[in-house]
A and B are shown apart, each in its own frame.
Chain A
Amino acid sequence: MVIILSLIEFKNVTKQYKNGVTALYELSLEIEKGDFVFIIGSSGGGKSTLIKLLYREEKPTKGTIIMGGINVGKLRNRSVYKLRRKLGIVFQDYRLLPKLTVYENVAFALEAIGEARGNIRPKVLKALELVGLKSKVREYPDNLSGGEQQRVAIARALVNEPKVLICDEPTGNLDPAMSMEIVELLSKINETEGTTVLMVTHDKTIVNKMKKHVIALKDGHLFKDYKKGEYVDEIL
């Protein structure tokens, strides 16, 4: 008997925004520990909503979301940080602090959660090494290329050794070559660190090439859940 414990579970999740727009309808899906998942779909399909529900930027209107044993939808505002410490989040626009160096930007994440000072330096350097930016610790984000800035953001997301890495269109601002580099980096992290990676994208070249687990959303419904390697480019 094989028991598969899913790390993330959506059960009949509906999300209706205050302005009346319904972004997700009765969505149910499971994601296993250590998985690498692409979430694809047309604009307005509910990709970003799904991710926002996961890191509790939004609350589901109906249904339950369980992540690593935490009932995300029921989480109180002041307890959100407990969830966030198990997650690393990467955005399209990097969200770095321009007045801090690369090192300080990554260290900021550890300082914010009250990490002991002695632990900060080795952890930051390890994360920056993982993303290949150890040589740029003293640079400011504005002096880096888009791909490098995104690597800093990934290092910041990883420095706390999260169980899940959530990436919302991380390659949206990057050219194809850089995009591929970033995705390969994420794939490497998934394999070497065992971090579960969820990546929202609309870049079909990447999805086609990587042959990973793909969840396709359409108009707020689950269009298709392709197991690893099943995905072939379809009209979406």
Chain B
Amino acid sequence: MKFFRIIGRSIRDAFKSVKRNFSLSIASITCVIITLIIVGVALIITFNINDFTTKLKKDLSIVVFVSNEADNFDITSLETQIKAIDNVDPDFVTYQSKAEIKEDMMKNNETFKNIMSAWDDDENPLQNTYIVKVIDANKIGETATAIKNLAKVTRVSYGEGMVEQLLMAFNGVQKFSFIAVIALVVVTTFLIINTIKLTIFSRKREISIMRLVGASNISIKLPFVFEGMLIGIIGSILPIILVVYGYYSLFDIMNGKLLTDIFTLVPPSEIVFKIGAFILLIGAVVGMLGSASAVKKYLKV
């Protein structure tokens, strides 16, 4: 009973003191708003970078050139062997005969058409191929080597050299954006904690009197914890609105892509609510922790 009375009073006091210490509350809330907006924007960028690199990695494929000596049986058994390799995505192993390739090339280019139309099937110097997609793009080199060692494979190509560099760059960007978000969250935490500490410092006297008249530590701490949470929650409202509406309208204005068709934006419905929830969580938790740790200092004698 008494416990609930303390909780009830703490929540009531939290609202009261946010109002009573209005200017300091505004300072804290503003600090929370600014830092959380930055976190929100960073999260949107990170989600998009991740999405983009993941998509590009999925598009990477290995072209397997099959020896012209291979008969139909060899070709089918080769497909089974390729699909059996660990990192190969068995749903994405497609066969393209040299006749099909010839057709394709002739469609695309007049000069090719003129030359190639003279070839009959036996003269066609092109090779039958398999287009193979991999599960883990980072292991594309090893997979390519494994395929090359199979019988009747003359050559494999996956853009050696360039792909490795591209992958390294992607991995770097992904890692960097991840670290940047973590760093931002840490900085935000410190900023919010420090501002809240300032507001609590100004109420040192109040705390010391509470202690003097025999308030237990927990009943001194609770109102401040709720107050911190309240500041965090109030401070996260504006960033959430900005992130949700901002990203929705950005997506509309840009038609879902950034400058080129290659870089498509992640549809807002997939991420904004996750980000919103995350912002609210950071605001509330950091606000609570901040004030709890700030009050703690004044409860030691």
Contact = CB atoms under 8 A, between A and B. Distances in A.
A85 B299 CA distance: 16
Nearest to A98: B205
A160 B213 CA distance: 8
Contact of A112 (B205, B214, B301): B214
B55 interface: no
A232 interface: no
Interface string B182-223: 000000000000000000000001101111111111011000
Contacts of B299: 77
A114 B211 contact: no
Taking residues whose C-beta sits less than 8 angstroms from the other chain, chain A's interface range is: 20 to 34
Nearest to B1: A116
A78 interface: yes
Contact of B213 (A57, A99, A116, A156): A156
B209 A108 contact: yes
B6 interface: yes
A91 to B, nearest CB: 9
Given A97-B205, A99-B20, A80 B213 contact: no
A77 B213 CA distance: 15
Interface residues of B, number: 22
Contacts of A116: 5
Given A95-B205, A97-B206, A99-B20, A112 B300 contact: no
A80 B211 contact: yes
Nearest to B5: A114
Contacts of B274: none
Given A89-B212, A89-B213, A112-B214, 17 more contacts: A77-B300, A78-B217, A80-B211, A81-B216, A84-B211, A84-B212, A95-B209, A95-B212, A97-B206, A109-B209, A109-B213, A112-B213, A113-B213, A113-B214, A113-B215, A114-B2, A114-B215
Interface of B: 2, 5-6, 9, 20, 205-206, 208-217, 219-220, 299-301
